[in-house]
Amino acid sequence: MRENAFLRYCLLLLIVLPIGFLWLYPQVLRCMLVSRSADFRLLTGADAVYVSHTATIKQQTQLRRHTATAIDRIRRFWGGRCGQAILIYCPTQADYQQYCAGGEGAGCSVGTPWGTSYLVLGPDGNNADVIAHELCHDELFTRLGWWRVKRQIPQWFNEGLALMVDYRFSNPSAWEQPDSSLRNIPFTREKTIIPFPQRPMLKLVDLETTRDFFGGDYIHTMLAYQTATEEVARWLSVAGRAGVPELTNALTNGDGFSETYRRLEQDKRRSKR
């Protein structure tokens, strides 16, 4: 009898938890049903990209080009692409708020515990930097899984990694190699990089969680981005681009983040002596 009661309890949890999750986060449910929405359709010439019917022909053309550029950037940065996120482009703020909680920023990532992820682009999200940023979050999510990212990966690393492929905040020289497609193209956009506030940087230990990172005002968030950008760029300058998949592979095999993060850097320093 006790075994039957326990099984019924577990079955009830399996039913109630997903329903409760979707009730608390209605944006996730809307993302899951975007393929059935009369307001969105698949973008011609792109895989798994849904675009609002309000998007103009010019916006759709730009989205195809920017998505292709961002995907290529992700493949070069990670040494391949595993992510299969569904992109949802909302050219109006009203639509964006329906699919991204709060409707803030140019884009947001919506991940589910069961593995599906959605990248929602707002009115300012139709550019390669925003798309690459969100795709990088998805790549980490896909390689490590929702639970491991939430429990083991500090938010400063999650954001810092995404900022490496987001040239609004960083210079591609932080990781680009001579064999990349940018080898003959000088980086002329440095003047367009978003300036950081002129205040002392935050400490990494104060940016471990999502609340730590985004819980303050605008200046706090920008300082958090600055701290994350400079730390991950510093680490990449030593560990190299190959250090990123090496790190995620080690975590998948059960190693801890902090120890592996330090070890990869130390090993690379020793090899250069």
What tokens appear for 102 in the block? 């709060």
Whole-number pLDDT of residue 27:
78
Whole-number pLDDT of residue 77:
95
Q: Which residues, given as ranges, of the chain have pLDDT below 50?
A: 5-10, 12-24, 178-191
Whole-number pLDDT of residue 3:
55
Domains and CATH numbers, the chain: 26-144 (3.30.2010.30), 154-273 (no CATH)
Report pTM. 0.81
Whole-number pLDDT of residue 101:
79
Between CA 242 and CA 109 the distance in angstroms is 25
Encode pLDDT of 20-45 as tens digits. 444 446 778 889 899 999 999 999 88
Between CA 21 and CA 3 the distance in angstroms is 27
Encode pLDDT of 66-83 as tens digits. 999 999 999 999 999 999
Whole-number pLDDT of residue 4:
54
Whole-number pLDDT of residue 177:
56
Residues 6+ apart with CB under 8 A from 183: 176
Whole-number pLDDT of residue 183:
39
Whole-number pLDDT of residue 16:
41
Do 211 and 205 contact (CB within 8 A), yes or no?
no
Do 41 and 51 contact (CB within 8 A), yes or no?
yes
Mean pLDDT of the chain: 84
Residue 158 Cα to chain centre, angstroms: 7
Task: Output the DSSP codes for 52-99.
Answer: ETT--HHHHHHHHHHHHHHHHHHHHHHTS----PEEEE--SHHHHHHH
Whole-number pLDDT of residue 50:
96
